[in-house]
Amino acid sequence: MPTGQPCLEIFAQCVEAIRANKLISRESRQDKEFHFQNWFKARLGKTGLHFEAGGRNTYPDFRLVASTDGFEVKGLAYPGREANYDCNSQVPSGSHNGRAIFYIFGRYPAEPDGDSYPVLDLVVCHGNFLNADHDYVHKNKSVKGFGSYGDIMIRDRKMYVAPTPFGLTTGTAHNQTLILPVDFRVDSRFRSVGRLVRREAQKLIVGYTFDLRTNTLKPESVENPAAGTEHNFVAYRLKGSAAEAVAMRPPREVIAEVAEAAEATEKDE
Phi/psi of residue 266, nearest 5 degrees: -60, -35
Contact with DNA (CB under 7 A) among 48, 137, 141, 213? 141
Does residue 44 interact with DNA by CB under 7 A? no
CA–CA separation, 176 and 236 (whole Å): 9
DSSP-assigned letter for residue 127: G
| Cβ 104 to DNA shortest distance, Å | 10
Contact with DNA (CB under 7 A) among 142, 221, 229, 232? 142
Which amino acid is it at 52?
A: E
| Cβ 29 to DNA shortest distance, Å | 8
Does residue 33 interact with DNA by CB under 7 A? yes
Contact with DNA (CB under 7 A) among 1, 20, 28, 55? 55
Residues 3-32 that bind DNA (CB under 7 A): 32
Buried b (16+ CB within 10 A) or exposed e, 212-226: eeeeeeeeeeeeeee
> Which residues, in sequence order, are bridge partners of residue 237?
191
DSSP H helical ranges for the chain:
6-19, 35-47, 165-168, 251-268
Binding pattern for the stretch 146-165 against DNA, x by CB under 7 A and - elsewhere: -------x-x-x---x----
Does residue 69 interact with DNA by CB under 7 A? no
CA–CA separation, 27 and 120 (whole Å): 19
Name 164's Cβ contacts closer than 8 Å, sequence gap at least 6: 74, 76, 82, 83, 84, 85, 105, 123
Name 92's Cβ contacts closer than 8 Å, sequence gap at least 6: 72, 101, 103, 127, 130, 131, 160, 162
Does residue 45 interact with DNA by CB under 7 A? no
SS3 121: strand
Instruction: Rank residues 53 and 243 by Cβ distance to DNA and give the closer one.
Output: 53
Does residue 97 interact with DNA by CB under 7 A? no
Does residue 100 interact with DNA by CB under 7 A? no
Does residue 73 interact with DNA by CB under 7 A? yes
CA–CA separation, 93 and 108 (whole Å): 24
| Cβ 119 to DNA shortest distance, Å | 13
Which amino acid is it at 224?
A: N
SS3 92: coil
Phi/psi of residue 136, nearest 5 degrees: -65, 130
Q: Taking contact as CB under 7 A, which single stretch among the options 9-17, 50-58, 118-126, 241-249 is the one that binds DNA?
A: 50-58
Instruction: Rank residues 122 and 234 by Cβ distance to DNA and give the closer one.
Output: 122
Residues 240-259 that bind DNA (CB under 7 A): 257
Which amino acid is it at 67?
A: S
Does residue 1 interact with DNA by CB under 7 A? no
Does residue 205 interact with DNA by CB under 7 A? no
Does residue 56 interact with DNA by CB under 7 A? yes
Does residue 226 interact with DNA by CB under 7 A? no
Chain contacts with DNA (rule: CB under 7 A): 32-33, 36-37, 55-59, 61, 73-77, 79-84, 86-90, 138-142, 144, 153, 155, 157, 161, 257, 260-261, 264-265, 267-268
